[in-house]
Amino acid sequence: MPVLTYLEAIRQGLWEEMERDERVFLLGEDIGVYGGAFKVTEGFLERFGEERVIDTPISEAAIVGAAIGAALVGLRPVAEMQFIDFISIAFDQLTNFAAKCRYRWGAGVPIVVRGPCGGGVHGGPFHSQNVEAYFFHTPGLKIVEPATPYDAKGLIKAAIRDEDPVLYFEHKYLYRRIRGEVPEDDYIVPIGKADIKRPGRDVTILTYGWMVHKSLEAAEIVAQEDIEVEVVDLRTLLPLDDETILSSVAKTGRAVIVHEDTRTGGIAGEIAMRLNERIFEYLEAPVVRVTAPDTPIPFSPPLEEFFLPQVEEIVQAVRWVANY
């Protein structure tokens, strides 16, 4: 089985879907001739031509608006945000139109909006954000954020085949740092299904994206203290996989929720409340969050490191709930 980087897995998934379905096309800033800011779409223009790999003006609202229109007439557009931070410019198009079309008049809007999210590369406050919580509150959208090459390829293919709008967040820190086996055969990772990356009996960590890898590191450290952690990779943020989340925490009785996004109004708060409402009687300790603080993400490398959740913070949280 081939070993691919996270970036190569996304690239391969896009390529295969364009080969499989001529309705799939790409649009975004510098994705054609330049091959994308991170080179995800390098070579696509030469293979698929300028009608299916479209370089756009610097206007995220126009990119997403055009994608929605194309979807409504039967195409399967994949719109790239050069950095996911600038999806905010298309917020109205996504939340007030694409997300509501099926509810209002039964029309699916099969678009994918993908782009690099997250910190760790010293991009500063406009190129390092995690924007999932802004859209998590919007019925009609689906949100995915893979952590591994296998999931990255399977989820991009599932997103393209979905009949409704999918936001596909890819963590830029993982692009060339994470490698994994990826099948050559056609496969998808179902949207809405979490994955247990490490089984355990004592504490559940619920997380996604880059924080999956930090949580796995933390789990290895506390295993030396006879604390066995179950690491659940959410993979899909909207809709959440309540079945996997609740069954894991009911088994261990303790939960730590880890995300790179800032704390207030983050996804961790919603998950904690679901645990409280539905399996309170199984909890042996308070649910704990490990998140970034409520500030913009700094450009300065030392400040960025302080801002981002670190392995030691996760270890401390796990120890606290385990010994509560």
61 and 92 Cβ atoms separated by less than 8 Å: yes
What confidence score (pLDDT) does residue 208 get? 98
Kindly state the DSSP code that residue 84 receives in the 8-state scheme.
G
Q: Distances from the Cα of 178 to the Cαs of 147, 152, 291, in angstroms?
A: 9, 11, 22
What confidence score (pLDDT) does residue 31 get? 98
Distance of CA 313 to the CA centre of its chain: 22
CATH fold group of domain 195-322: Rossmann fold (3.40.50)
What confidence score (pLDDT) does residue 100 get? 98
Residues 6 or more apart whose Cβ sits within 8 Å of residue 31 = 40, 41, 44, 53, 54, 55, 80
Q: Where in the chain is the domain with CATH 3.40.50.920?
A: 195-322
**Active-site option among 122, 127, 137, 259:** 127
What confidence score (pLDDT) does residue 127 get? 97
Question: What are the mean pLDDT values of the chain's consecutive 10-residue runs (324 residues total)?
Answer: 96 98 98 97 98 98 98 98 98 98 96 98 96 98 98 98 98 97 96 98 98 98 98 98 98 98 98 98 98 97 97 98 97
137 is a catalytic site residue? no
Kindly state the DSSP code that residue 173 receives in the 8-state scheme.
G
CATH fold group of domain 3-181: Rossmann fold (3.40.50)
User: Sign of the CA dihedral 80, 138, 210, 193?
Assistant: negative
Position 75, amino acid:
L
| pLDDT more than 70, % of the chain | 100
Q: Distances from the Cα of 273 to the Cαs of 6, 40, 96, 224, in angstroms?
A: 32, 37, 27, 31
Q: Where in the chain is the domain with CATH 3.40.50.970?
A: 3-181
CA distance 287 to 2: 39
User: Sign of the CA dihedral 18, 144, 315, 197?
Assistant: negative
For 57, other C-beta atoms within 10 Å of its C-beta total 8
